[in-house]
Structures are given as structure tokens and as C-alpha cells.
Amino acid sequence: MMLRYVFVFIVAVFVSTILLITSQVTPELYIALTEEGKNLEFLTAIFYLLGGISLLYVAAKQRKVHLLSSIFILLLGLFFIFIGGEEESWGQWMFNYDVSESVKQVNTQDEINIHNLNIFKGALNPHFILNLFILLFGSPASRVGSRGHLLGA
């Protein structure tokens, strides 16, 4: 089981390294890959959604074994689904709908999402909050064993 986590970690480091190298060697390709509303953002949303659905499945299987772990995994799964929806502005660009003028006034990118609201400039930056959340809770959550207990606990 631990081998699976090592594999996921290695893949994440590999992809991050490739993106970093691409940003330095061919900035045009990097910009094309990471452009707002394009390829990488869509894939990020898909992976968050799949991860969230997977966590909901694990929480459902674990609920009878260890309720507290199951609740934590359920909340984490719902959070990932929320992040996936936010990444794609809740389908705004896929379904080609426009936002009202009042939303445009409070959202820095004229999108239907929370993370681009004007109030999140500076210290309340959602990317900082997400990274802090993953740093604090991501490691323990990834160590939940098949019986709902933290591995090594």
C-alpha cells in the first residue's frame, strides 16, 4: 500500500519538474499549457473531481469501521469536488454562459467562482490557503489505512 503513495509522489514530482523545466526552456509552451481556462486547468479540475469522488467512495466503505476517519475523508472528498468546480468556474466556459454585471464588479476575472473574488487579494489568497490545508491535513489523510486508522498509529 505504501508503494502506491510513493508512486503518486514520484509522478507528482516528475510532472512538477517537467513544468518547471518547460517554463525555463520554452516559455511559450509553458504559457500555452498553463493558460487560464485551457488544457492544464481543465486536467487539474478533472483530477480534483476524480480524487473527490474516490475519497467519497473510501469514506462510504470506511464509515462502519472508523466513523471519525470516515467523516474526515468525506469532508476532504467534498472539498476536492468543490475545488474541481472552482477550477472550471462551475462550467461557465464549457457551457458558455455569462455572469451578471454585479458578479463582474466583485470578481477579478469575471467568473462564477469564489476564489477570484476581490476580497481574496493578498493574505487571503485561496492558493495559499489550499497549500496550507494540504500541508497540514494532506499528509495524515494520505496515510489512512484499510481499516480507517492512520498508518503507523
The per-residue pLDDT for 104 is 84
Q: pLDDT tens digits, residue range 104-140?
A: 888 888 888 887 787 777 666 666 766 677 666 655 5
Whether 50 shows a pLDDT value over 80: the answer reads yes
Instruction: Looking at the chain, list the stretches that DSSP marks H as alpha helix, in order from N- to C-terminal side.
Output: 2-25, 27-34, 39-62, 67-87, 101-106, 126-133, 139-141
Alpha-carbon span 3 to 46, nearest angstrom: 24
Q: pLDDT tens digits, residue range 6-48?
A: 777 777 778 778 877 888 888 888 788 777 667 778 888 898 8
Alpha-carbon span 71 to 63, nearest angstrom: 8
